Structures are given as C-alpha cells and as structure tokens.
Structure 1
C-alpha cells in the first residue's frame, strides 16, 4: 500500500471543527427554545395527567424500543454471522449515543460497535443504517401526507407541506443512490475517483472507499425476504409510536385521535431532521408544538400541549437512557470505547 498523502494545510483541525459544531448546536438550541416559548411552556408549572397515563405510555415505549432494535437484525443477518442478542444490545446502546451526541453523530456508533461484536466490517453495517434512515424518512413523509389530508386548512400547513415535499425529494434521491450502489457498486466509486478525484484527490478517495463499503452493506437489497421483514418491523415500530402518542395525549386531556397523533409524529420527525444539539433540546418541543398547532387552538396548546410535550420528551429520553445504559453495561462498554469509531483489527479468521 502506498502512504497516504499529508492532510491539506487548509483543513481545519479537529478541535476547531468540534467547537464549530458545538457553537452551531447552541445557536440552533437557542433559536428553537425562543420559538417554542411563543407557543408552549417547555417546563410547565402544572403537570396534570391521568394516573394510568405514564405506565401505559412507558409500556408502549418498551415495545417501541424493542422493535426499533429488532428490525435492524433483518438487514444485518445476510452480511454474516451475528447474534440477535448482540444486535438488540448494540441497537439499544446506539440509540443512547444518537441522543447524546449532536448532529446525529451517534449514527456512526452502532455500526462500529456491532463490527467489534460480529466481525462484519463497519462500512458494510453503515450501509444497513443508511437503508434504515432512508426508509424511516420516506415513512415520515408518507405519514405527513396522509395526515395532512385530514388536517384543517391553517397557515402553518402550507409551510410544513413544502418542507415535507423537499424532505421527500431528498430521501427519494438518497434511495436512488442506494439502489445504484446495490445494483452497480463500481459505478459511483468510478465516478468519484475520475470526476471529483481530478479536483480533490483525497476527499474523492475517501468518498469512494465509503461508497464501496456501503455497496457491500447493501447486499441485503436484492434479497426480498429480509427487506419485507424489515419493512414489516418498521411499520410495527411506527404504529406503536403513533398509538403511544395518542394514548399519552388522552391522558393529558388532549382530544387527539390516531390520525392527529400521526400528524404530530410526522411534524416532530421533520423538525428533528434539522441537525442540532444533544438530546434534541428545543427542536423536539418545537416539533410537538408545530404538530399540535395544526389541530388545537393556541390556548389549548399552551395549556395541555405543554404538559403533553413535557411528558413526551422526558419519558422518551428516560427510556432511551435507561435501556441504553443497561445495554452498555451488558456489553461492558464505556463511553471512551463507544466513541472510538475506528474499525476493529482483523481477527485470525479475517473477514
């Protein structure tokens, strides 16, 4: 192998990039919290909820967390020998880091962790994560379009509809790229090396290597059965989420049915597409407020909506943290090991 060229002198050092991300995250958090406070109270003075509300919602969150991790197994299993238990534990631990790290950098933790447990290259596992994110994005957009058909004609709906259309185009393009990688794995790599490589050789080489790894990870695509099982798990995952949100809304005194809860879920996830701070502080509440505003008058959003957003956020965060910490302890995984995203050394058997 030839030695890698020296980094370009104009590249910003890692600490500078990290501080830039932190600064931008703080700006996004401040803007989101400012917008949220105009619609609801992030920490309301009174928290009235039916006695059955929290136990019932937490039960749906347990099923939601199980389905979220379990569906990944159908995409990972065709790539090599991997235990279902390992996929579950890594999925639960990875969900914690997705919440803990800004700018969704936690998405890189799951493939790195499972690569150490299974021997499957992290670049291949990254391809399965890409499939997840694209399918989830298309599901969110489809959910919004379905729910928007039954929503009242309010001014905010036009802007949300435009944002969702743009997001749908983005995810559809990403899906097309994944299909190209799966069907013609060498095409994008060649295009990057011969096209971008003439302008910036090193970035082109890095992107080409990533594309090759993603293509290897997309080997599950031509197999219909794993994809169908993954899609069934995904529909069950989102359906559980919608049911739980509707259940919690009733416990908080809000008159929201399944269709309205579907709309709130879609708007919330569209808002979370904005890269932001750890734990989605501000952006989460902003998404809930925007979704509720489609169906409820401002005074109801300010009152019951504030309670609803508070419990929705704290319950999800607590469940992700509790399951993620438990899974990390079972994996004997410390935070330093979780953040070490370097690929594992090849074992005696190789991969």
Structure 2
C-alpha cells in the first residue's frame, strides 16, 4: 500500500508539473523571477522562518509535557521534520518529528504523533475561517465566480472536521468509556492484542489533552493564528516583490489554495501540487497570466524548500543523526513510564 501511494504521488506530481510547464513562456517566467524586489523578498523569507517558530511554540502547548519542552528542542525537531517532508516520500516528516521529540523529552512517540491530529484539525479550522471571512468580503460577479465553488468545498470540509473533532473530543473526555468499548471489542476475538492496543490508545489520548483545558486550547488557537498570518504575510510580501497589485486578503486566499493542494499525495517537497494550486489561487485573485503566476509559484516553493531543507539538515547534523537513519526510521523514542505519556 505504501509503495502504491509513493507511485501515485510521483505520478500526480509529474502530471501537474507538466500541466504547469506546458502553459508558460519559460523566458518570461525567468525574467520575472530575476526582476523581483530583493527587500520584499527578504521580508517574505523572514516571515516564513517565523512560521516555523510559531509552529514549534504551538506544539509545546499541544504536548503539555512536564516539565515543558524547551522551544529550541521543538524548533529543531520541527525543522528536521519539514526537511524530511522535502526529501523523503509519503510525508515522513510527521513521523520523524514525533520520534525526535520522543528521544529528547519524556514524551511517548505515540503521544507526540497524536498531537499532530489535533494540529491538523486546528489548522483546517483556522483556514476555513479565513476562507469564510474572504467570501463575506467579496461581492457581485466575483462572488458568483469564486464563492459558490469555495462554499461547496468548505461545506464538505466542515463536515469532515466536525466528525474529526467529535471523535477526538470523545476520546479525550470519555477515554475510560472508549477504553472499555475497545476492550470489549477485542477481548473476545483478539484477547492477546487488547492490552497492547489499550496501551497505545492511552498514550494517544495524552496527545489530545489540549482539548480538555480551554486555557491551553486558547493558547493553541492564538499561535495557530500567528502561524497562518505570518504565512500569509510571507505570501503577501513575495507578491509585493513581484509588484502584483494584490492585497493581504488575496495572499490569505492563495495560502488556503496551496495548503489544500499539498494535502494530496505527491513527490517529496510537494512538487507539482504546490505549484498547480498556487497558480490556481493566483488566477482566482486576478493574476491570469500563467507565466507570471508560475514565476511566483516557483519562487515561493523554491524559497520555502531551500530554507526549510537547509535548516533541517543543520539541526540534523547538530543532533548527530543522518538522512539514512531517517529513512530507516531508526528514531525510536526513549522508553518512558506510562504515567508520563
């Protein structure tokens, strides 16, 4: 199954890259890239690096470790995870960052990985909220062209998110009831597996602890907003560097498109999916020329890919690890007592 997913991802990336490249004037695209404003480009890069910091701080509140995990350790694990997503298939970076923090702190790798489920849902809620505000802000023919398609897509995601939130909240609040249900289901058919599954479940539930404390949840939501507005600022200042006549709201919408696109299976680094959905988002906000849109998409992707990959390899070297170890997932977390996970 994993092999089929890898092949599908590479195939989808190849098709989307072909569709992008066949429509552009390569000389005009390169010319647009070389003419960007360096000052705005630097500001855009700084805001992108700031998103990694906000992602690390938010993860600290999601993990709720005792004692709290230092932000530099989380920043290191997050950077290595982003690098792994850029160079390894099937989004292995999510697994890598969970196991890395499991090695460094008294947190189960399963618990760390479970926090990523909460992370994804909070991110999706934030982006859907951004999309909703954008749709309320546009009117007339533009609303007819954009709003109906976005509203239908948003409604489908809301249903999926509502289901996911319900399951996680139930597991977090009524975990004893869920444990008893799992035990009854397994003890008759798979009695030997019951204890192991319940152990994994209890560690996973610890990753949902932020859902039980409204103060902690508010902190998570605050840094989620910081994360995505910093991301939108990065997109916006890169638009300024290309002299695109677009506002901050347009940058937010393009960010929503790109985030949706990179959720699909792809080659490492989201090749193809990132570019195609970025260009699609730009066409919605008014950049209809495919060559200009492609120049922005390739610059944005290249900047994020190079900076995250370089940062990740630096922290990988500092941790005394190698890419070969990441491929083999030789990253088992240090065993911790059940009570601390």
**Counterpart check, 1:107 vs 2:94:** yes
Aligned residue number for residue 292 of structure 2: 304
- Between the aligned partners of 2:169 and 2:308, the Cα distance in structure 1 is 32
In structure 2, the residue matched to 1:330 is 318
2:60 is matched with 73
Partner of 1:52: 39
Greater mean alpha carbon deviation, residues 54-63 or residues 275-284? 54-63
* Higher RCO, 1 vs 2 (CA within 8 Å, ≥6 residues apart): 2
2:6 to 8, 19, 22: 22
Conserved in 2, the CA contact under 8 Å of 1:53 and 1:248? yes
Q: Which runs of 4 or more aligned residues in structure 1 lie more than 4 Å from their structure 2 counterparts after TM superposition?
A: 38-43, 154-157, 192-210, 347-351
**Tell me, what secondary structure is at the counterpart of 2:30?**
coil
Structure 2: 5+ residue runs without aligned partners?
none
TM-score (norm 2): 0.86
Q: Normalization by structure 1: what TM-score?
A: 0.84
CA distance in 2, matches of 1:294, 1:60: 24
Q: Are 1:344 and 2:329 an aligned pair?
A: no
- For residue 116 of structure 1, what is the aligned residue in structure 2? 103
Q: Give the secondary-structure state (helix, strand or coil) at the position aligned to 1:102.
A: coil
Residue 349 of structure 1: how far off its partner (Å): 11
> Is this contact kept in 1: 2:90–2:266, CA < 8 A?
yes
| Partner SS state of residue 178, structure 1 | helix
Instruction: Tell me the residue number matched to 1:212.
Output: 202
Deviation at 1:292, TM superposition (A): 0.9
Matched-pair contact (CA < 8 Å) for 2:108–2:335: no
List gaps (5 residues or longer) in structure 1. 1-16
Equivalent in the alignment of 1:63: 50
User: 1:35-50, aligned counterparts within 5 Å?
Assistant: 35-37=19-21, 40=24, 44-46=29-31, 47=33, 48-50=35-37
Matches within 5 A, 1:229-244: 229-244=219-234
Are the counterparts in 2 of residues 138 and 172 from structure 1 also a CA contact under 8 Å? no
Native 8 Å contact 1:109 1:341 kept in 2: no
**Which stretch shows the higher mean deviation, 197-206 or 141-150?**
197-206
Distance 1:338 1:350, change over 3 A: farther
Give me the whole-angstrom Cα distance separating, in 1, the residues matched to 2:16 and 2:111: 35
Determine if contact 1:188/1:208 at 8 Å carries over to the other structure.
no
The 2-side partners of 1:295 and 1:199 are apart by: 56
Count of matched residue pairs:
333
Given the superposition, is the C-alpha separation of residues 79 and 136 from structure 1 closer, same or farther in structure 2, using an over 3 Å criterion?
Answer: farther
Per-residue CA shift, 1:178-197, capped at 9, x if unaligned? Answer: 11111011333444454588
* Higher helix content, 1 or 2: 2
Name the CA shift for 1:304/1:198 in 2 (closer, same or farther; >3 Å): farther
- Aligned-residue RMSD, C-alpha: 3.0
